[in-house]
Amino acid sequence: MSEFENCPQLYKYRVIDQLPQPPSLDAERGTLVHTILHDLFENAPSDRTPQSAIELLPSRWQAQMAAKPELMEMVTNEKEWFDRAESLLRTYFTLEDPQSFEATHRELHLENDFSDEIYLHGYVDRLDVAPTGEVRIVDYKTGKAPKPGWEEKALFQLRVYALLYFKTHNVLPRLLQLIYLGDGKVVKSTPTLTDLASTEKVLKRVASDIFASIEKDYWPPKPSRLCDWCYFKTICPAHTS
């Protein structure tokens, strides 16, 4: 959804045309760290330590490369790769104490049919249910926190998860939490029913815009500074015409 809002042409390349593109090292590092934070909670609380997380790095990286052999050629300095991932993991332990709670759900799949035409789903990094019933939705980010004023855009993803959870369980999550391992910051929000109603309204508006683009085959590019990092820049009409 955010991709369509940022650039309909990029949405077409990735979602409609499903054009292939090479893996992103930043995204793959994020996958590696997410996997380790997921598996960390398989341990007994006393074993959820920085060292135990770091010890998972080699085996989880081997599994990731087995699934995507092209990563072997992309990572030219494995020590530097591991050092960066280790730094992100150590930052996590400065922000939370995983020995003090149980992660009720990890990689929880949430889904809902908003209408006959709209199916919405996603995977939540972690969803914690307290003994008293309060729900906390947590998402790990290996980048840096957004600049002041941009937090709301970042929180929209978690509000979508909160909306999906509410529609399925009729429980309003108490806390939404974005953990940024790139700079050790945490962005929190307490959602309200009004927030969820507003989120659903935005989702349906964007879905309507996507249907209109499909019907008209109209995918206008939106040039921005992000174009310099776009794999499809060389074929994008905004840069080739």
**Is residue 241 pLDDT above 80, yes or no?**
no
Between CA 108 and CA 4 the distance in angstroms is: 24
Q: Count other Cβ atoms within 10 Å, centred on residue 155.
A: 22
Least reliable range by pLDDT among 54-58, 115-119, 203-207:
115-119
The alpha carbon dihedral of 107, 182, 190, 119 has a sign of negative
> Residue written as tokens 């969803």?
127
Higher per-residue pLDDT: 1 or 97: 97
- pLDDT tens-digit series, residues 109-160: 999 998 889 999 999 999 999 999 999 999 999 999 998 888 888 899 999 9
